[in-house]
Amino acid sequence: MAMTLEQAQRVGYTCLKALLRFAFMVANNLVAIPSYVLYLIVLQPLRILDSKSFWYIEGVLFKWLLAMVASWGWWAGYTVMEWGDDVKAVSEDEAMVLVNHQATGDVCTLMMCLQDKGTVVRQMMWLMDHIFKYTNFGIVSLIHGDFFIRQGRTHREQQLVLLKEHLEKYYRSRNRKWIVLFPEGGFLRKRRETSQAFAKKNNLPFLKHVTLPRIGATQVILKTLVAPQENGTPSGGDAVRKESKSKGLQWVIDTTIAYPKAEPIDIQTWILGYRQPTVTHVHYRIFPVKDVPAEPEALTNWLYQRFIEKEDLLTHFYETGAFPPPEGQTKAISREMTLSNLWLVAIQSFAFLSGGMWYCLFQYLYHCLF
């Protein structure tokens, strides 16, 4: 079937837009990431004299880098609608964030929707697949102190030991407060069959929209970061105390990401912007750590229950286009997450100005030396 002129124009426009967006992303990476590294190299004396101030500045630069990634989706019309508990109420407390994993765009979505949550982004630690270390953003995550975990049964025990050592060495020394992980251990499309077979064998619920989570990393985080005393108050609404000053991990934030028609956004789409504007929906439920069991078997059951609830949430969303209302309420309230275009432009401008500054400085030094 021949393509009409209008269709050809639409395809041409989409391709041109994708090409321009890709060129901008490459240019952005070429100036922003080296600038981040160079600023931190210059600030190494401050790290020795006042490490707290050094990691504060690093966190601000890190947040700006994540905001640049968020801007690629924001300007393509990939926005976020938030549901459930208001996580801003616990943004100054320590929390572990459990997220379902469908595609590479999940990380970009989190980079976007956490931008307006106070100090969260600059003080958060990510657990991600080790392959991410070899991407363009790998050097940034390495410096920031994120943990790269190697998947597979043969590496599992060793990785959990390394995770514990990493948390003890970097989490509090760099004033981290939130830690983000994907307990499913991989993308939904890759793990669903295996998970369903495991569920059938062990008489567990049949899940279509999520997979059964792995307990290892969650258990290590709780054992390492939870203070000896119990923290937290009942989750949700006014019961969540922003002013809490307790030490140690205080909250578990169960985060569920839903895409319209169950069609997740991947990183290629996020960068190139060839998909029509899409609203991604993110549901939060906050649990106090004192309500999370410590024993392995009880913790496994608790974590399984969270993902069974995610299955119910996603089933309801795909059937109705909205998440179900909280218990005791008749209607679920959503909140539109927004970013300031002026702020995003300012950050992008700072990145390009920094790149220009470093280029001129190196040119000057080269001419002086040679």
Banded model confidence at residue 133, pLDDT cuts 50, 70, 90:
confident
Number of neighbouring beta carbons within 10 Å of residue 211: 27
Banded model confidence at residue 14, pLDDT cuts 50, 70, 90:
confident
Q: Which two tokens stand for residue 106?
A: 């999940």
Banded model confidence at residue 369, pLDDT cuts 50, 70, 90:
confident
Q: What is the DSSP letter of 3?
A: P
Residue 107 to residue 72: CA distance in whole angstroms? 13
Structure confidence at residue 1 (pLDDT): 55
Residue 185 to residue 9: CA distance in whole angstroms? 42
Banded model confidence at residue 336, pLDDT cuts 50, 70, 90:
very high
pTM exceeds 0.75 for this model: yes
Question: Which uninterrupted H or E stretch holds 308?
Answer: helix 296-320
Pairing of β 78-84 and β 334-337: antiparallel
Residue 94 to residue 278: CA distance in whole angstroms? 31
* Poorest-pLDDT segment among 34-48, 129-143, 287-301: 129-143
Structure confidence at residue 242 (pLDDT): 41
Q: Give the pLDDT mean for 241-247.
A: 46
Query: Dihedrals φ, ψ of 121, to 5°?
Result: -65, -40
Q: What is the DSSP letter of 274?
A: -
**107 contacts: CB under 8 Å, gap ≥ 6:** 126, 128, 267
Query: How many residues make up the chain in this entry?
Result: 370
Q: Give the pLDDT mean for 23-40.
A: 96
Q: Give the pLDDT mean for 20-33.
A: 94
Tell me the CB-side half-sphere exposure of residue 36, using CA atoms within 13 A.
27
CB 315 within 8 A of CB 230: no
Structure confidence at residue 235 (pLDDT): 42
Average pLDDT in the chain? 90
- CA gyration radius for the chain? 22
Q: What is the DSSP letter of 137?
A: T
pLDDT tens per residue, range 72-129: 999 999 999 999 999 999 999 999 999 999 999 999 999 999 999 988 999 999 998 8
* Poorest-pLDDT segment among 26-35, 63-72, 147-156, 308-317: 147-156
Question: Between the ranges 5-19, 85-99, 241-255, where is the mean pLDDT highest?
Answer: 85-99
Banded model confidence at residue 240, pLDDT cuts 50, 70, 90:
very low
Residue 253 to residue 14: CA distance in whole angstroms? 38
pLDDT of residue 236 exceeding 70: no
Q: Give the pLDDT mean for 334-347.
A: 94
DSSP character string of 9-57: HHHHHHHHHHHHHHHHHHHHHHHHHHHHHHHHHHTHHHHHH-HHHHHHH
Pairing of β 278-288 and β 249-258: antiparallel
pLDDT of residue 234 exceeding 60: no
pLDDT of residue 328 exceeding 90: no
For each of the domains in the chain, give its residue range(s) and CATH number, in order of start.
Answer: 78-227+247-339 (3.40.1130)
CA 195 to chain CA mean position, Å: 23
Residue 238 to residue 245: CA distance in whole angstroms? 17
Q: What is the 3-state secondary structure (H, E, C) of 89-123?
A: HHCCCEEEEEECCCCCHHHHHHHHHCCCCCCCHHH
